[in-house]
Each structure stands twice: as C-alpha cells, then as structure tokens.
Amino acid sequence: MPWTDLVQLLLFFALLLLLVKPLGAYMARVFAGERTFLDPVLRPLERAIYRLCGVDPGHEMRWTTYTATMLLFNFAGLLLLYLILRLQHLLPWNPQHLAAMRPDLAFNTAVSFATNTNWQAYSGETAVTYFTQMVGLAWHNFVSAATGLALAIALIRGLTRRSAREIGNFWVDLTRSCLWVLLPFSVLGALLLVSQGVVQNLSPYTTATTVEGTRQAIAQGPVASQEIIKEFGTNGGGFFNANSSHPFENPTPLTNLLEMLAILSIPAALTYTFGRYARDQRQGWALFAAMLLLLLGGFAVVYASETAGNPIIASLGVNQASGNMEGKEVRFGVYNSALWSTITTATSCGAVNTMHDSLTPLAGGTALLNIALGELVFGGVGAGLLAMMVHVILAVFIAGLMVGRTPEYLGKKIESKEMKMAMLAVLVLAASILGFSALAVATPAGLAGRLNPGPHGLSEILYAATSATGNNGSAFAGLNANTPFYNLALGLAMLIGRFIFFVPVMAIAGSMAEKKITPVSRGTFPTTGPLFVTLLIGVILIVGALTFFPVYALGPIVEHFLMNAGRVF
C-alpha cells in the first residue's frame, strides 16, 4: 500500500474513533431522558408533538406492543409514500412535469424507502419530483433510520434492565431519534456539503449546449439536504442515478471523507451507547473491536483485489499500474473507491461512489458477503447492532457449551427461547436471499434481467436478492431490475429482511428484560476480552460461510479463477 493511501486510512479511522465516545455518550443521555445542550429548543417541541399525537411519554410498552406499534407506523408510512409516487404528477414542485410511477415500481420504491433499503430501480433525476424527494423520500430517510435506532435502544434496554416487563415507548424513542440525533446533525452536515459545492435549490433543470453542439439537461434540486441524511441515516438512495459518484452529490475529497464518516458514525457510536447502558464500557468496546476487525479485513481483500487489477484487461495492453479503474471516478481512485465500497456494504447504506458491477470478482464477492452476514459489520443505524446481538447470543451459547454451564450474557441466562429466536432471525435472512435468488435463476423473467452470462450473471442476481434482503440498496447495475418480476420479488425480500427479522429480535429483547441478573462467578465466560472478540468473529464468519459458500463458489469465486485463466463470457 502506498504511503499516501496508508495515511488516508489511518486518518479516517482516527477520526471515526474520535467520534465514537462523544456521539455514543450523547445518544445514551438522549434516550435516558437526561439533559442535553439541545433541550431548551427541542424539549418544548417534543412535548408539543406528544400532545398533538396523544402520546403519554411516561407509559412504557411490552415488546409485543412496541413491535406492533412499530409495524403499524411503518406500514402506514409505506402506504402514504406509495400514494405520493402514484400521484406525483398532480402534486406541486414538479418543474420537469414528471409522470406518475407505474404501480409495480411505486410498490418497490415505497417498500424500499420504508425499509431503509433505498433500492432504486429508477433514475432519480428523471423519475421523481422535488415534492416526492423532499416530502416522500426524505421523510422515510429520517423515520426508517429512527425506527432502527429506536429498536436498537429497546434491545439494549432489554439486555441491561433487571426483571422488567417493558422495554420503552416506541413513540418516545422514535421522536428522540429524529429530533435529537438525526435532524440537528443533518442540518449541520447539509451546510457543510453546500459549502463544498453540493447543490441545494428548487430550480428547473438547466439546459446547456455541449462542445459537440448537442443539448443537455443538467439536473439539480434539493440535493444537499437529501445527501446528508442518505449517509447519516445509512439510507443510500441517491438524488442522482450515479449516486455519490455524481459531482453534485460528492464533489470533493473532503465531501467524500465526510460522507464516509457520516455512514459509520451512528453504528459505531451505538457500541459506546451500549456500554453506557450495560455500566461496563468494555462490553461496548468488545463489539466495536469485532466490527472494526471485520471491516478492516473486508477492506484489505477489496483493496488488494482492486489494486491487482484485471489480468484480462492487462493482456489487451491497457495500463493497470493504478489498478482496476473500470467503473471508478478518477478523482477518487482505487483507495477511496475500495474503502467506500467496503463501508457502504458493511452498513446498510448502499450509497456508491464506484460501480460495484465493475469490481473484480473477489472485491465484488466481499461486498456481497458484507451484506449477507446481516450487515452487522457496524451495519445500519440501529439494525446493525440488532444483527450483531443475534450473533453475540450464538457466540455466548457456543462458549457456554465449551465451559459446560448455562450460557450467560450481561449476567442473564441465554435459554432455549433466545436461541430459537436468534436462529430464526439468521434463517429468515438466509432463506430470503437464497430463495429469491433461486426463483430468479429458475424463471425466464428472472434470467431476462441479467446483462452478463456465466458466473457474473449469477452474481448480479445474487447481489440483488442479497441487497434487498439485507436492506442495503446497492446493486450490480448490470441487472435490469425495473421489471414487474424484480420489483415485486425484491419488494417482498426487503419487507422480509426488515420487518420479519425485527420480530424475533424484539422477542429476545422482551425475554431478556424479564430475566434476573446472576452474579459473576469463576465459571462465567468473559465477554469483554480478545478471546470473546475472536470467538464472535469466528461465529459470524462460520455462519456466513456455511450458509453462502456453495452459491459463492458458483459466482464470484469461480469467476476469480476464470479471470486469472483468461476466460471471458
């Protein structure tokens, strides 16, 4: 690795580490109802919202009520967004006179934003109006991220409370997530992006004459306000089809750095929040260490593969000294493209500054695995911590078998109910990914969408099902997914990956909240040291490998060997 890339890497992770403690401590205070510097402005607004909505902030919910409330709220928002997409041609702020979305595409898009997936089977600048962007999509960028954050806090309460039946109030957690966490940082971030040249206006598209004498429409709009919550809320839906490789979304090296930090900031800081609630900061740092090591391992594979380049292209006389530059912005190069690709698939963001379909097979396979693991390598806002805790329970259970006693975590026994719910959460994701992939490769409608034959075509289909189920939203763009088959199939995959996954995890929260805390003894397996971190990483990788290795062997793995053998399709 050149020293310039190494310095950038060290700087990035140093900045991330500096964010973890203050942001994590701030979120712990927010959700505990403690005083913060924003209270004079936001506390009266919070009380007004509760009065308007008829919410009693002092009333806490059992996990069943909490989960049911979350589901009803999100499905109501999904329906509202569907109506906006179908009626956008009749609504204001449509200077380009864009038409309504087709029913299947509107369903897919509404599900996509309601589930924090932000999969886009359309081109943003030619398919959605300013009203849809700011009222429909931006609303879900906030509340879908806030939903994940609220559920993470509820799970943390369930793990750390003593003999409680309630895990919090969904309306309170949702409101505080939006008002105290997402909104103020998004306002500040949007101003920083505007200062760097990110567009923010309501003007009609500009028509320009190119050097060749042709006419070109230059899209613009309220981009900066969308861009920051896209990254900070790990949403990923780009204002433009080119997403964060577009100069109006990501114009400078500084915006590239800020946007990558925004993607990781909340998921990383939540580990510190967890440590505060557990009253043992080592618990949070153990989770952070596991996530960080998995992220660095994934980046190492992607970076090495991309800098090695493509031997087939090199054999044609193309200079590969800078690595594989296909599908990349020259201003970002291999390093920034590799790091962004790793971060965006390790979280549920899905924003891209390079085209993942052009990644080398091992790099593309690593991006695919990051999502398939459950997006727990920091993961999405809140949702990443939920997925990580599922694997923590599995790791603790295995450790309990090793030491010959009932497994415990934070002094609470892990029993059959928690194990059943944890395995259900893992199997739901795997069944959705493999099931929808199998359906696509076994039907003419599924095969018709792929651009490439051979193993890469399989990877395109597999990536779509994985990205939808993992609520990521990035794509191997060689797949034409804007068809009735893929719009409906991937919409269902998003719903399964988001809401069906949430139910067993919240059941774990409710079950653990009721348990008493057992004093630590000599037989208690420690969950704060290097041994536990190693065990946790091993469980995550083994579960992922056992589940997905056979299909990866037919896709990115065999494609890598065929590439080195000079075979093309």
Tell me the per-residue pLDDT of 27-53, one tens digit each, with 9 for 90 and over. 999 999 999 999 999 999 999 999 999
pLDDT at residue number 164: 85
User: Which range has the worst mean pLDDT, 325-339, 340-354, 398-412?
Assistant: 398-412
**What does residue 198 show for φ and ψ, rounded to 5 degrees?**
-70, 135
Q: Is residue 335 predicted with pLDDT exceeding 80?
A: yes
Alpha-carbon gap, residue 534 to 359, rounded angstroms: 29
Q: For 379-407, what is each residue's pLDDT tens digit?
A: 889 999 999 999 999 999 998 887 777 78
DSSP classification of residue 222: B
The answer to whether residue 247 sits within a structural domain is yes
- How many residues appear in the chain? 569
pLDDT at residue number 234: 92
Stretch 366-380: mean pLDDT, rounded?
Answer: 90
Residue 464 · residue 494 · CB < 8 Å: no
The answer to whether residue 481 sits within a structural domain is no
> Number of folded domains in the chain?
1
User: Which range has the worst mean pLDDT, 5-19, 270-284, 370-384, 398-412?
Assistant: 398-412
- Nearest partner of 391 among 286, 529, 264, judged by Cα: 286
Question: Percent of the chain, pLDDT > 90?
Answer: 73
Q: For 277-312, what is each residue's pLDDT tens digit?
A: 999 999 999 999 999 999 999 999 999 999 998 888
DSSP letter string, 175-212: HHIIIIIIHHHHHHHHHHHHHTT--B--PPPEEEE-TT
pLDDT at residue number 236: 86
Q: Is residue 558 predicted with pLDDT exceeding 90?
A: yes
Stretch 306-322: mean pLDDT, rounded?
Answer: 82
Stretch 415-432: mean pLDDT, rounded?
Answer: 93
The answer to whether residue 341 sits within a structural domain is no
The answer to whether residue 103 sits within a structural domain is yes
Q: For 153-203, what is each residue's pLDDT tens digit?
A: 999 999 998 888 899 999 999 999 999 999 999 999 999 999 999 999 988
The answer to whether residue 400 sits within a structural domain is no
The answer to whether residue 294 sits within a structural domain is no
Alpha-carbon gap, residue 299 to 341, rounded angstroms: 8
Look up the domain containing 232 and give its range: 23-205+218-278
Q: Which residue has the higher pLDDT, 523 or 518?
A: 518
Q: For 452-472, what is each residue's pLDDT tens digit?
A: 888 999 999 999 999 999 999
Supply the mean pLDDT for the chain. 92
